[in-house]
Chains A and B, each alone.
Chain A
C-alpha cells in the first residue's frame, strides 16, 4: 500500500465524487460521500504514522512520466511542511460533509458531495505535488468546485462573490502559469531537457531580472490566494456568501494553498529575490494583521467578521514565512494547521447559530448563552483559539511566528503584537453581543442547544485545539527538518551566474524550411 499511498489519498475522493454523482440517490448520497471522505483521512493518518520524522526530503515519492516529452511527470511526495496539512484537509472535508448533511445544504446534495469530494482531490493534490505542472493542474482543479459551491448554495450575493473569487484567482494563476512556462523553457537551456520537476528546477541559475519577474508572477498568484493585503477583497465576499460548509472549506482547508505555494515554490525557486522582497512582504503581513483586525471590528455580520479576522491571521502567517527564520517559518506552518482548525470551528459555530436563527447579523442576536450554553462554550473556545490564548493551539504558532519575526525585525513583531490585542477586542465584542446580554429577541428564546450530531462534528476540532496547544512537540518535530531544508534553500547563495545562452531558443524560433 505504501507504494501508492499518496496516489490513493489524492484520487480516492475523485473516485468517490464520480461514484456519488453517478450512483447515489438522495438518501444514500450523504453517507456515501462521508465514507469516501473517511478513506483518505484514514490513509493520511497512516501516512502520519509511517512518516519518518528524521528525513528532510520528500517521502512516499511516486514518480512516473506523464507528458514525458515536455518533462511533465506525475511526481508526488510528502515532506514535513505538507505532512500535517494532508490529514487536516481530509479531516475538514469529512467534517464539512458531516456538518452539511445536518441541514446546512438543503438542496441538491448529490452535486454538493460531488463538488466537495472533487475539491478534496484538488486540495490534496496541491499539497502533495512536487511537479509544477501537476501542482498547477490541481491548483486549478480546486477552483471550480468551490466556485460552484459558492454560486449554488451561497446566500444573497453569491453570484457576485463567486465571480469575484474566480476572477481574482484566475488573474493570479494565469500569470503564474506564464511564469512557470518561462521558467521551464529557461531551465531547458541548462538542464538539456525540459522538466517541471521542482527538485530539478532548483538548480537553474537565473539572471536577477528574470528571477524578479518570475517571483513577482508567482507571488501574485499565491498572494491572491492567501490573501496578502491588499489583494484580499475577494475574501470577505467569498467567505460570507458561501454556505457554511463552503466557508469552512475556504477558510479552513483552502487558505493554506497560497502560503504553501510560497513555501514550496516561490521562495525556494527564487531565494535571492525572495530575500529582497521579504521586508515588503513582512510589511504587508503586518499591515494585513492590523487592517484585518480593524475591519473585523467594524463588521456587523458574523461571517464577515471571521473573514476579516482571517485576513488578520494570515497576516501573521505571511509575516512568519517572510521573516525567513527557523522559528517563524515553523510557526507559520503550524499556524496553517491551527488557523484552519479555528476558522473551521468558528464558521461551524456561526452556521449553527444561523440554522437556528436564520441570521448572522450581530445586531439581531443576543443572550444566546442562556438557551444554548454548549454552543456558547464551543464558540468561546474557537474564538480563544483564534486569538491565540496560550494553552490552545493558536498560541504556539503565533508565538513562534512573532519570536522569529522579532529576530528578523523587532519593529515588525512589535506592530504585529497589536493584532493580538485587537483580536481579543473584536472577537470578544462580537461574542459579548451575540452570547451575552439579555435575551432581547423572542426568537432567541426558543432555540435549541447543540444536538448530539453537532457535538460530534465540532468535538474533534475542539479536542485538536487543546491537543495542539498543549502538546505540539510531535508535530514540530516532524515539521522541523523540512523547515530547515527550506531555509537552507531560502538562504542559499545565488546560483553561479552563468551567462544565459540566448542562442538556444533562437534555434527553435526561426525554424527554416528545408528546401
Chain B
C-alpha cells in the first residue's frame, strides 16, 4: 500500500460480465440451445473470466508492490454523505482469490459437463453455476463492504439453489434451506458489523465502507468498536465458512451435485469467510481479543470436525467434515495474524479439496451414485486415474512434506506457535494426525481391501470419461506442485505468494530456521502417524476398526452421530421457535389476545344492541314509562341545577 498505485482497469468489468451473460443465456435460451452449446457457453464464461484474471494479474505484477487495479460499474446507494459504488478492486488478495475462483471454477465447470451429462436440467444447473461464479467474483472483487455483501449473499443463494438442485427430493430441498437460513444468521452478523463500522467512522466524520479508505483511517475506530465489529463479522464468517457454531449446514449440503460440493462447498464459497477476515485484517489487528476468538474457534473447529470425520461412512460427508476442519486451520492462521498463510491454505485447499470431491464424484459416477464407503472398496484397479489422483490429494491434505497442503498448513501452525498460541498449536498438530487418519481411512476404504460393491453395480463399473478425468489430472498436478509457490522464506525462491500478499495482509514474524524445522517435523510426524494408523486399521488389520468402535462405545456413537449437535440445535432452537410461532403466537396471542380484543369489541357492541333493544317491547305503555323515566331525569337535572346555582 505504501508505494502502490491504483490503476483504472476496465476489463475487470468484463470479468463480471462474462458469467452474467452466461446466466442470462442459460436461463432464457439454455433449453432451446441444447446441451452442447450450454456446455460451451458456460465453460467459456468462466474460462474467459480466468483468462481476464490472468491478464489482470500480469498488469498488477508490472506495477509496484501494493498496487491495485480498479474499475467502477456504476454508482449504487448514494444517500447524503454516504456514497457507495459498485466498485471493483483487484489487488494481490483479490488476485489470488479471483484466480482460484475462476481457475478452479473453470476446471469444475469442465468436469460438470461430464458429470451432469445425463441430467435433463443441465441448463438450470449451469445457470446457477455461472451465477455462483459471478457472485463469488463480486465477493472477492468488491471494493467495499456492501458490494461485497451482494456477493456474500449471492453465493449463499446459489448454494441454496444448488443444494436443492434435485428438488424432487424433499430432504434435499430441506437441506438447501437449512444452509441458506444458517448462512443468513451469519449474514445478519455481517450486516450489523457493517453498521457498527460505518457508525464508528461516521462519528468521526468519515462516511465510507470502502476497504482502502477504511484501512487508511482505521485509527479512527476505537478498539471497543473494533472488537464488536470484528466479532460480528466473524459471526458472518462462521456462517459462510461453516465454523462452530454455524457449521451444521455444510455436511447436509453434500446432497447437491458433486461438482457443486467441489466448487462451492470446498474450494471457494466456504473460504469466503477467511477471505473476508483477511480483507478486514486491518480491523482485526486492532483487537487482539477478537483475534484470540478467531484462532480458538478455528482450532477447535478443526479438531472437532476431524473427530467427527473419523466415524462417518458417507464419502462426501467425510469430505465435508474435512473441509470444516481445514477451514478451521485457516481461521487458526488468520487468528494468529498469518492472513497470508490462511490465504495460501485457501489456495492449496482449493486444489486438493476440489480434487477430492471430484474424485469422489468420479467414484460415485462409476457406482451409480453410491456414497456409502461401506459399499465400496477395492476400486483402485477399476478406476486407476481416479485412484492415482485421489492419492495425490489425500497426501496433500494430510500435509505430507512436498505436497501442497504441507507448505500452507505448516505456515499456519508455525504462525500459531510463534504468536504464542501453544495450546492451539498443539490442537492443530493433533488435528493433523487425525487428518491423516480419517483421510486415509477414506482412501483405503474406497480403493483398497475387499470389494463391497453391490453385485448389480459391478458390471457397469467404469472409469469416468476424459472430460472428467482431465480435470482430475490437472488438479492433481496443482495439488502436488501448488504448494511450491509458498516455500518457507529463504528456501529456493522463498515465499512468493506470501510476499505478493504482504502489502495487503501484512507480515508475521517468523522463527529461526532450525526451530521452524522442528515444528514442521512434529506436525509431519503427527500426519504420517495418522497415515500409518489408517493403514493398520483399514488395510493391514481390517477387523480392528470394529473392535475399536465396540471398545470405545459411547464415544464412537457420539462421533458417528456428530456429537448430536443437530439434535441439540433442534431441541434448543428449532422446536422452541416453531412452538413460539405456531402455538404461542398464532393460536394464543394473535387468535385470542389481539383478535379477541377486536371481536370482543364487536361482540360487546352486539350485546349492547341486543340488551338495549329489549327495552323496545312493543308495549306502548312501556314506551310511556321509558319516556317518563327520561322526563323525570331531566326534571331532576333541572332541580339539581337550580339548587346548585339558584
User: Is B641 located at the chain interface by the 8 A CB criterion?
Assistant: no
User: Is B441 located at the chain interface by the 8 A CB criterion?
Assistant: no
Partner of A429, one of B124, B177, B202, B590: B177
For residue A389, which residue of chain B has the nearest CB?
B153
**For window 309-325 of chain B, which residues contact chain A by CB distance below 8 Å?**
none
Are A295 and B581 within 8 A (Cβ)? yes
For residue B150, which residue of chain A has the nearest CB?
A390
**A-contacting 9-mer, from B165-173, B387-395, B414-422, B486-494:** B165-173
Given contact pairs A327-B82, A400-B77, A428-B180, A413 touches B192 in the complex (Cβ within 8 A): yes
Are B157 and A389 within 8 A (Cβ)? yes
**A-contacting 9-mer, from B182-190, B468-476, B558-566, B631-639:** B182-190
For residue B190, which residue of chain A has the nearest CB?
A417
**For window 111-126 of chain A, which residues contact chain B by CB distance below 8 Å?**
none
For residue B589, which residue of chain A has the nearest CB?
A291
Are B168 and A295 within 8 A (Cβ)? no
Report Cα–Cα, A377/B174, bound state, in Å: 18
What are the residues of chain A within 8 A of B173 when measuring CB–CB? 432, 436-437
Are B590 and A233 within 8 A (Cβ)? yes
Given contact pairs A367-B168, A437-B170, A406 touches B195 in the complex (Cβ within 8 A): yes
Report Cα–Cα, A297/B152, bound state, in Å: 25
Report Cα–Cα, A377/B578, bound state, in Å: 27
Partner of B170, one of A295, A327, A377, A436: A436
What are the residues of chain B within 8 A of A403 when measuring CB–CB? 82, 194-195, 198
What are the residues of chain A within 8 A of B595 when measuring CB–CB? 233
What are the residues of chain A within 8 A of B168 when measuring CB–CB? 367, 370, 436-439
Are A428 and B177 within 8 A (Cβ)? yes
What are the residues of chain A within 8 A of B187 when measuring CB–CB? 420
Are A421 and B77 within 8 A (Cβ)? no
Report Cα–Cα, A417/B152, bound state, in Å: 16
Are B192 and A480 within 8 A (Cβ)? no
User: Is A279 located at the chain interface by the 8 A CB criterion?
Assistant: no
Report Cα–Cα, A359/B315, bound state, in Å: 42
What are the residues of chain B within 8 A of A390 when measuring CB–CB? 146, 149-150, 152-154
What are the residues of chain B within 8 A of A436 when measuring CB–CB? 164, 167-168, 170, 172-173
User: Is B423 located at the chain interface by the 8 A CB criterion?
Assistant: no
What are the residues of chain A within 8 A of B184 when measuring CB–CB? 420-421, 424-425
**B-contacting 9-mer, from A135-143, A215-223, A466-474, A505-513:** A466-474
Partner of A432, one of B27, B124, B152, B164: B164
Report Cα–Cα, A407/B198, bound state, in Å: 10
User: Is A369 located at the chain interface by the 8 A CB criterion?
Assistant: yes
Report Cα–Cα, A331/B77, bound state, in Å: 10
User: Is B276 located at the chain interface by the 8 A CB criterion?
Assistant: no
How far does the Cβ of A422 sit from chain B's closest Cβ, in whole Å? 8
How far does the Cβ of B232 sit from chain A's closest Cβ, in whole Å? 10
How far does the Cβ of A462 sit from chain B's closest Cβ, in whole Å? 12
Are A473 and B76 within 8 A (Cβ)? yes
User: Is A443 located at the chain interface by the 8 A CB criterion?
Assistant: no
Report Cα–Cα, A470/B146, bound state, in Å: 12
For residue A398, which residue of chain B has the nearest CB?
B191
User: Is B586 located at the chain interface by the 8 A CB criterion?
Assistant: yes
Report Cα–Cα, A424/B77, bound state, in Å: 23
User: Is A191 located at the chain interface by the 8 A CB criterion?
Assistant: no
Report Cα–Cα, A291/B27, bound state, in Å: 37
User: Is A402 located at the chain interface by the 8 A CB criterion?
Assistant: yes
Given contact pairs A421-B185, A421-B188, A480-B80, A294 touches B580 in the complex (Cβ within 8 A): yes
Partner of A164, one of B196, B582, B590, B598: B598
What are the residues of chain A within 8 A of B602 when measuring CB–CB? 167
Are A298 and B582 within 8 A (Cβ)? yes
User: Is B594 located at the chain interface by the 8 A CB criterion?
Assistant: yes
Report Cα–Cα, A439/B577, bound state, in Å: 28
A interface residues, how many (CB within 8 angstroms): 58
What are the residues of chain B within 8 A of A424 when measuring CB–CB? 180-181, 184
How far does the Cβ of A200 sit from chain B's closest Cβ, in whole Å? 29
Report Cα–Cα, A299/B173, bound state, in Å: 19
User: Is A107 located at the chain interface by the 8 A CB criterion?
Assistant: no
For residue B83, which residue of chain A has the nearest CB?
A473
What are the residues of chain A within 8 A of B551 when measuring CB–CB? none
User: Is A435 located at the chain interface by the 8 A CB criterion?
Assistant: yes
What are the residues of chain B within 8 A of A295 when measuring CB–CB? 581, 585-586, 590
Report Cα–Cα, A234/B594, bound state, in Å: 10
Are B177 and A470 within 8 A (Cβ)? no
User: Is A337 located at the chain interface by the 8 A CB criterion?
Assistant: no
What are the residues of chain A within 8 A of B194 when measuring CB–CB? 403
Report Cα–Cα, A70/B587, bound state, in Å: 50
Residues 407-430 of chain A, each 1 if its beta carbon lies under 8 Å from chain B, else 0: 100100110011011001100110
Are B153 and A330 within 8 A (Cβ)? no
What are the residues of chain B within 8 A of A234 when measuring CB–CB? 598
Residues 322-350 of chain A, each 1 if its beta carbon lies under 8 Å from chain B, else 0: 00001100110000000000000000000
What are the residues of chain B within 8 A of A476 when measuring CB–CB? 77-79
User: Is A54 located at the chain interface by the 8 A CB criterion?
Assistant: no
Partner of A420, one of B74, B78, B191, B202: B191
What are the residues of chain A within 8 A of B427 when measuring CB–CB? none
User: Is A230 located at the chain interface by the 8 A CB criterion?
Assistant: yes
Are B78 and A402 within 8 A (Cβ)? no
What are the residues of chain A within 8 A of B581 when measuring CB–CB? 294-295, 297-298
User: Is B75 located at the chain interface by the 8 A CB criterion?
Assistant: yes
Given contact pairs A327-B82, A432-B173, A298 touches B149 in the complex (Cβ within 8 A): no
User: Is A477 located at the chain interface by the 8 A CB criterion?
Assistant: yes
Report Cα–Cα, A437/B174, bound state, in Å: 9
User: Is B244 located at the chain interface by the 8 A CB criterion?
Assistant: no
**For window 352-394 of chain A, which residues contact chain B by CB distance below 8 Å?**
367, 369-370, 373, 377, 384, 389-391
How far does the Cβ of B350 sit from chain A's closest Cβ, in whole Å? 25
User: Is B160 located at the chain interface by the 8 A CB criterion?
Assistant: yes
User: Is B199 located at the chain interface by the 8 A CB criterion?
Assistant: yes
Are B590 and A417 within 8 A (Cβ)? no
User: Is A51 located at the chain interface by the 8 A CB criterion?
Assistant: no
Given contact pairs A420-B187, A420-B191, A473 touches B594 in the complex (Cβ within 8 A): no
Are A471 and B195 within 8 A (Cβ)? no
How far does the Cβ of B417 sit from chain A's closest Cβ, in whole Å? 37
Report Cα–Cα, A210/B82, bound state, in Å: 38
Partner of A471, one of B76, B160, B180, B188: B76
Residues 22-53 of chain B, each 1 if its beta carbon lies under 8 Å from chain A, else 0: 00000100000000000000000000000000
Report Cα–Cα, A389/B82, bound state, in Å: 21
User: Is A202 located at the chain interface by the 8 A CB criterion?
Assistant: no
User: Is A399 located at the chain interface by the 8 A CB criterion?
Assistant: yes
User: Is A490 located at the chain interface by the 8 A CB criterion?
Assistant: no
What are the residues of chain B within 8 A of A399 when measuring CB–CB? 77, 146, 191
What are the residues of chain B within 8 A of A327 when measuring CB–CB? 79-80, 82
For residue B593, which residue of chain A has the nearest CB?
A230
Residues 183-215 of chain B, each 1 if its beta carbon lies under 8 Å from chain A, else 0: 011011001101110110010000000000000
Report Cα–Cα, A396/B149, bound state, in Å: 12
Report Cα–Cα, A330/B82, bound state, in Å: 12
For residue B186, which residue of chain A has the nearest CB?
A421
Residues 99-142 of chain B, each 1 if its beta carbon lies under 8 Å from chain A, else 0: 00000000000000000000000001000000000000000000
Are B79 and A400 within 8 A (Cβ)? yes
Are A294 and B585 within 8 A (Cβ)? yes
Are A233 and B170 within 8 A (Cβ)? no
Residues 208-249 of chain B, each 1 if its beta carbon lies under 8 Å from chain A, else 0: 000000000000000000000000000000000000000000
Not counting A168-B598, A291-B585, A403-B195, a sample of 14 additional A-B residue pairs whose C-beta atoms are within 8 angstroms of each other reads A295-B586, A295-B590, A298-B586, A327-B80, A330-B79, A370-B168, A384-B157, A390-B146, A391-B154, A400-B77, A413-B192, A417-B188, A421-B185, A438-B168
> Please, could you name 26 A-B residue pairs with CB atoms under 8 Å apart, sorted by A?
A294-B577, A294-B585, A295-B590, A297-B581, A298-B578, A298-B585, A327-B80, A367-B168, A370-B168, A373-B124, A391-B150, A391-B153, A399-B77, A410-B196, A410-B199, A413-B192, A421-B181, A425-B177, A425-B181, A425-B184, A428-B180, A432-B164, A432-B173, A436-B167, A439-B168, A473-B74
CB-based closest 4 A-B pairs: A436-B173, A298-B586, A436-B167, A406-B195
